[in-house]
Chain A
């Protein structure tokens, strides 16, 4: 692999992967909290609408959705946007749905007496949420968020298929130009693995920090312990759902 190609395509590709990961994670995060909270609402219509959002995006392929945004929305509504915008939007909306399920599950796990205590103290619903329920639910959310973030990181490789020049796209381009594939794809796989590893480690630190703050004892972790999905059945699939 010549350094020229590396500098022109691969490094910018890595940077785009990082950007797409963080932008879509941020979007997913911003979507997940209100939707997750609304899904615990006492009004059935609110619960139903928020639940429908989750069900729809859980049941469609994120790639199909991405194609739909990138190639169907512009002609249908006579607008145009960058492919990266479509990619981030599709990933953010899809993973936001999964993340909302995590938020809902963690909120549901807060003991009901805590909510009642808030009512007894004459807190408004907003105050209860912000000062009682979310701080307790937060440490519960971090491990599944961690898994989801890894899924999202891997999901970003899909944006290469709508012509966003991320690192997978750069790799594919290099294969065509250089007519050589083994070193390129091996490097790509290694890069994704390293990124996933760094993300997992970072989230572990965050988890320890959050648990200490609410007075729970953080677990000891081994080198590979952090990578193993804790509740992969519920979370990674996005189809199970925390109790």
Chain B
């Protein structure tokens, strides 16, 4: 074994750049995943077949194909038809889109968990469809699914290194670059530890949150 702390010191500034990019991607990716997921979930409960079917097919397709290939698709194929995006933007869109199909499943469970009596009560009060969703169903559904949504923030954190493959230099990307130019291995180990240091306390926090909210 020949571990060298000098390499760790040298890598640190790059590491923080990577952390910044990871957090940016995580924040905006989460925003997309959480909001788009809700749209998918509500659309899948639509009474109109022409809304329900395409949404189901699209979400199933996204869910059952790898994020990495989707990132390649967004980065190399989409610019042929439309706008070209920076690696970071592509990463954010990719992460958000991919995990929106997972969060939609979470929302679905939350919506189905709202007692049928609540729907009936809304009908009895002759609330409009929009009112039923926004004032009765969703407030009850969303509260219950917050811990489960939180899990996906951690999952997205763990999957974000894939952005490095399209050139968005997150923690892993920086480590990879550093290691390849200096032929050392300390940087990747640092990043590995960093993930444990961030993700494990986060999951403990979620467990506390879960106990508080789901009662």
The interface of chain A, by Cβ under 8 A from chain B, is 55-56, 58-65, 67-68, 71-72, 75-77, 150, 153-158, 160-161, 168, 171-172, 175, 181-182, 185-186, 188-189, 192-193, 196-197, 224, 227-229, 232-233, 236-240
Contact = CB atoms under 8 A, between A and B. Distances in A.
Contacts of A76: 1-3, 185
A239 B72 contact: no
A240 B66 contact: no
Q: How large is the interface on B (under 10, 10 to 19, 20 to 34, 35 or more residues)?
A: 35 or more
A67 B159 CA distance: 13
B195 interface: yes
Interface stretch (B119-127, B129-137, B198-206): B198-206
B203 A171 contact: no
Given A60-B195, A157-B69, 12 more contacts: A58-B199, A58-B203, A60-B192, A61-B195, A71-B179, A157-B67, A158-B162, A168-B69, A185-B69, A189-B70, A193-B61, A232-B102
B85 interface: no
A67 B77 contact: no
B51 interface: no
B141 to A, nearest CB: 13
Contacts of B195: 59-61, 64
* Interface of B: prevailing SS: helix
B196 interface: yes
Given A56-B196, A61-B195, A68-B192, A185 B172 contact: no
* Interface of A: prevailing SS: helix
20 contacts: A59-B154, A60-B199, A61-B157, A61-B159, A61-B195, A63-B161, A64-B172, A65-B192, A75-B2, A158-B68, A160-B68, A168-B68, A175-B72, A181-B72, A181-B80, A182-B77, A185-B76, A188-B69, A232-B102, A238-B155
A59 B77 CA distance: 33
A155 B161 CA distance: 13
Contacts of A224: 56, 60
A56 B195 CA distance: 10
Nearest to B59: A228
Interface string B153-184: 01101111110110000011001100100000
A185 B179 CA distance: 29
Contacts of A192: 64-66, 69
B66 A155 contact: yes
A68 B189 CA distance: 7
